């Protein structure tokens, strides 16, 4: 694909730029090759518009990093609500091919208690409706393709009406003229250095050449190997179910409850969901592959006085708790590996990874140099998401904040593989 024919991309909820790195690379280099292979003019995507804004936050740290790395051209650093309300012919004058974004997921996350899990009506979940509003307002100018990312809990949200939120999204996209392919992808099962599970939602217009091409295949073939996600991340089919959605969105919101499995397709509003397992035999990265051998600051080492606290947090426990209504119950959790196993992909990075306070979920490793226990450095956390070294390093940005960025980020090698799959299809079938 020539430089002039690059696919134009809208990047929403950009964070520090994970989607952009996955689609454009960095300094002409690939992510999945650990930024060693030059792509030159072969990069098929160009971000022409980006948006990043964190609600209720005085200082926009992620936006600062994004602007430092990519510059202000085409960047909108206000809320997506203001974007939707703006004159899109002025703000978005260029017709784009692809819209991407990891829209905020707090209302769906397993890190939230069931009591606080409000799903699509929560303060962050409503941002879905801003996406829907933007696509609706763009109308005929809406992108031919969509790639969205979220936590896998989205498929089961909310707790009291399982699957409702995802059903609403599917029906919304169907009404906007899109077919959909989705997959929960654990990055560690496809050779990447972190066991990070996320759902990727790929939308493509019902009247697109891709929709026409996929008519040759059944839903099973699309999910297994023929869809854009299926080609990038092949799988084996274990079970399948059909999902019937009411036509009325309001009825879905009030009444629907269903079992969405970890993969599926919606073709012309007909939904089939599949339980799949990964089919991968390539090289595998391990936690040990990202560890630094030198320049480890003293702040990352576990002090002797805190050692007992770390062991306590990592150990198994059974605790009596009391509900708001006064009922007692036993809360139990198993022990965690301490220190972390270096011969496997790492556990999922979470937003509270930074700071010296002992925690059950923070990573602890044995230092290669002196065999002491320590936390992961910002560079190591970046490597686990396949970011360039010190990508998030800026004056006045703390190490804890850099860890927070990586807890919110995605494994950009997954985005690169999805982008390659889409661009390969377009090169082969859209002349």
Bridge partners (DSSP) of residue 264 are 182, 273
pLDDT digits (tens, 9 = 90+) for 244-253: 999 888 888 8
Q: Which residues contact 318 (CB under 8 A, 6 or more apart)?
A: 330, 331, 332
| Phi and psi at residue 191, to the nearest 5° | 90, 0
Q: How confident is the model at residue 106 (pLDDT cuts 50, 70, 90)?
A: very low
Query: What does the alpha-carbon distance between residue 37 and residue 23 come to, in Å, rounded to a whole number?
Result: 15
User: Residues 296, 367: contact at Cβ < 8 Å?
Assistant: yes
pLDDT tens, 21-40?
A: 999 998 888 877 777 777 76
pLDDT tens sequence across 132-150: 999 999 999 999 999 999 9
Q: How confident is the model at residue 250, as a pLDDT?
A: 85
Q: From CA 125, how far away is CA 110, in angstroms rounded?
A: 14
Closest by CA position to 260, among listed 157, 173, 190: 157
Omega before 196 within 30 of 0, i.e. cis = no
Whether residue 77 is preceded by a cis peptide bond, meaning omega within 30 degrees of 0, is no
Q: Which residue has the higher pLDDT, 14 or 80?
A: 14
For the stretch 342-400, pLDDT in tens is 999 999 999 999 999 999 999 999 998 899 999 999 999 999 999 999 999 999 999 99
- CA distance linking residue 48 with residue 401, whole number of Å: 27
> Of residues 160 and 280, which shows the higher confidence score?
280
In the chain, where are the structural domains located? Answer: 3-282+410-429, 287-395
For 307, the token pair is: 């050692």
pLDDT of residue 248: 87
Structure tokens at 353: 């990874």
Q: Are 146 and 100 in contact (CB under 8 A)?
A: yes
For residue range 207-237, list pLDDT tens digits in order. 999 999 999 999 999 999 999 999 999 999 9
Taking residues 392-421, report their average pLDDT: 96
Asked whether residue 124 carries a pLDDT value surpassing 50, the answer given is no
| Mean of pLDDT values over 96-104 | 91
Residue 172 pairs in a beta bridge with: none
For 360-376, what is each residue's pLDDT tens digit? 999 999 998 899 999 99
Query: Inter-axis angle of helices 164-175 and 127-138, to 10 degrees?
Result: 10
Task: Tell which wins on pLDDT, 295 or 191.
Answer: 191
Q: Would you list the DSSP string of 85-132?
A: HS-HHHHS-S--SEEEE----TTT-TTS-GGG--GGGSTTTTHHHHHH
Residues facing residue 145 across a β-bridge:
98, 204
Chain-centre distance for alpha carbon 161: 23
Provide φ and ψ at 51, rounded to 5°: -140, 130
**Which positions are catalytic?**
105
Contact 84, 137 (CB under 8 A): yes
Rounded CA gap, 411 and 321, in Å?
36
User: What is the reported pLDDT for 411?
Assistant: 97
Identify the band that residue 281 occupies on the pLDDT scale cut at 50, 70 and 90: very high
Per-residue pLDDT at 42: 78
Q: Evaluate if residue 170 carries a pLDDT over 90.
A: yes
pLDDT of residue 171: 94
**H or E stretch at 186:** strand 178-186
367: buried, middle or exposed (CB in 10 Å: 19+, 13-18, 0-12)? middle
103 within 8 A of 127, measured Cβ to Cβ: yes
- % of the chain beyond a pLDDT of 90: 73
Q: Give first-to-last CA distance, the chain, whole Å.
A: 11
CA separation for the pair 37, 94 (Å, rounded) = 31
* pLDDT recorded at residue 397: 96
CA distances from 156 to 51, 114, 259 (A): 28, 12, 7
Three-state SS at 198 = strand
C-beta of residue 163 within 8 angstroms of C-beta of residue 171: no
Q: In 3-state terms, what secondary structure has residue 191?
A: coil
Q: Which CATH superfamily is domain 3-282+410-429 in?
A: Vaccinia Virus protein VP39 (3.40.50.150)
The answer to whether residues 426 and 418 touch, using CB atoms and an 8 Å cutoff, is no
Q: What is the mean pLDDT of residues 263-287?
A: 96
Q: CA 362 to CA 339: how far, in whole Å?
A: 10
SS3 5: helix
Give the count of alpha carbons within 13 A of 56, CB side only: 2
Give which of 405, 411, 394, 292 is closest to 353, Cα–Cα.
405
Which token pair is 350? 């979470």
pLDDT at 118 over 80: no
Identify the pLDDT of residue 431: 63
Task: For residue 34, give the nearest of 185, 193, 228 by alpha carbon.
Answer: 193
- Is residue 147 a contact partner of residue 418, using CB atoms and an 8 Å limit? yes
Residue with tokens 């092949």: 234
**Mean pLDDT rounded to a whole number for the chain:** 90
């Amino acid at each position: 694909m020539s430089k002039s024919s690059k696919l134009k991309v809208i990047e929403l909820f950009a964070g520090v730029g994970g989607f952009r790195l996955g689609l454009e690379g960095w300094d002409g280099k690939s992510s999945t090759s650990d930024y060693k292979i030059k792509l030159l003019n072969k990069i098929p995507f160009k971000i022409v518009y980006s948006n990043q804004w964190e609600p209720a936050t005085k200082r926009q740290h992620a936006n600062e990093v994004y602007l430092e790395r990519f510059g202000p051209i085409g960047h909108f650093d206000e809320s997506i609500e203001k974007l939707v309300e703006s004159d899109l012919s002025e703000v978005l004058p260029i017709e784009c091919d692809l819209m991407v974004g990891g829209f905020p997921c707090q209302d769906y996350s397993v890190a939230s208690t069931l009591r606080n899990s409000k799903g699509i009506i929560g303060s962050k979940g409503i941002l879905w409706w801003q996406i829907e509003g933007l696509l609706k307002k763009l109308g005929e100018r809406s992108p031919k393709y969509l790639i969205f990312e979220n936590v896998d809990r989205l498929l089961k949200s909310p707790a009291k009406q399982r699957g409702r939120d995802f059903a609403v999204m599917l029906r919304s996209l169907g009404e906007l003229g899109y077919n959909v392919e989705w997959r929960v992808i654990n990055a560690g099962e496809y050779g990447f250095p972190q066991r990070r599970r996320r759902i990727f939602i790929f939308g493509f217009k019902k009247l697109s050449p891709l929709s026409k091409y996929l008519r040759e295949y059944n839903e099973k073939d699309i999910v297994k190997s023929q869809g854009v996600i299926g080609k990038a991340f092949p799988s084996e089919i274990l079970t399948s179910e059909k999902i019937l959605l009411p036509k009325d969105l309001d009825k879905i919101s009030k009444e629907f409850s269903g079992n969405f499995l970890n993969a599926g397709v919606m073709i012309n509003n007909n939904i089939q969901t599949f339980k799949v397992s990964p089919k991968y035999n390539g090289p595998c990265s391990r936690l040990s592959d990202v560890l630094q051998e030198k320049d480890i600051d003293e702040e990352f080492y576990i002090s002797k006085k805190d050692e007992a606290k770390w062991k306590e947090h990592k150990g198994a426990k059974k605790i009596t708790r009391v509900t708001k209504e006064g009922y007692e119950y036993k809360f139990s959790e198993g022990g965690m590996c301490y220190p972390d196993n270096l011969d496997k992909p790492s556990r999922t990075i979470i937003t509270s990874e930074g700071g010296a306070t002992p925690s059950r979920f923070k990573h602890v490793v044995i230092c290669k140099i002196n065999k002491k226990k320590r936390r992961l450095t910002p560079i190591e956390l970046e490597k686990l998401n396949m970011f360039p070294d010190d990508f998030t390093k800026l004056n006045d940005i703390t190490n804890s904040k850099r860890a927070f960025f990586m807890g919110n980020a995605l494994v950009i090698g997954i985005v690169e593989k999805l982008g390659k799959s889409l661009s390969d299809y377009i090169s082969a079938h859209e002349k």
